[in-house]
């Protein structure tokens, strides 16, 4: 892997409003230029926006929310889209769905997280669910970004990313 070329990572969820957005923003924040993160949904609702509590959790953690928006995974299946090196599903629904055929046959892994936007209760309880999910995602992404470059080589990245699903 050329150190000047970042590893493109796409995080997928159903609506692209919570977990995948948290993962995209966090990896871009901590990736040190070695990673370029994106996110998308298999079936975002019409006029879908990132969950406001997710954006607040990111901002409270000092992570930029600039440029975050919900989009369909179709945006990454076209020939003109950036080619992904690794695709990670972060919700169980998306993991079971039939994915598009991705250009370049990227590595894939599934890291399951409960959906913080489904938590009921006070705003503080709901906010806490987003904070906990963000912390869980960040723990795993910290492991990813601290891997030695050879673990991120194209022939190893799928095994490495799938092993990280068992960590943190």
Backbone angles phi, psi at 69, to 5 degrees: -155, 155
Q: Which residues are catalytic?
A: 13, 91, 99
| Beta carbons of 31 and 145 less than 8 angstroms apart | yes
Provide the residue ranges of all domains of the chain, joining segments of one domain with +: 7-151
What are the tens digits of pLDDT across the range 53-79? 999 999 999 999 999 999 998 888 888
Buried b / exposed e along 89-116 (16+ C-beta atoms within 10 A): bbbeebbeeeeeebeeebbbbbbebebb
Report the topology of domain 7-151.
Rossmann fold (3.40.50)
Tell whether the model's pLDDT for residue 168 goes beyond 70.
Answer: no
What are the tens digits of pLDDT across the range 99-123? 666 777 788 888 989 899 999 999 9
């Amino acid at each position: 892997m050329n150190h000047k070329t970042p590893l493109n990572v796409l995080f997928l969820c159903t609506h692209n409003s919570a977990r995948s957005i948290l993962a995209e923003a966090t990896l871009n924040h901590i990736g040190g230029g070695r990673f370029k993160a994106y996110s998308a949904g298999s079936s975002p609702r019409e006029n879908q926006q990132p969950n406001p509590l997710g954006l607040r959790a990111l901002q409270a953690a000092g992570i930029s929310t600039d440029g975050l928006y919900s989009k369909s995974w179709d945006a990454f299946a076209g020939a003109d889209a950036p080619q992904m090196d690794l695709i990670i599903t972060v919700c169980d629904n998306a993991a079971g769905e039939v994915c598009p055929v991705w250009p370049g046959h990227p590595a894939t892994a599934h890291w399951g997280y409960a959906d913080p936007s489904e938590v009921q209760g006070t705003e503080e309880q709901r906010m806490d669910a987003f904070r906990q999910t963000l912390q869980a995602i960040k723990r795993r992404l910290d492991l990813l970004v601290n891997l030695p470059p050879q673990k991120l080589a194209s022939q190893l990245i799928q095994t490495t990313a799938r092993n990280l699903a068992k960590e943190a």
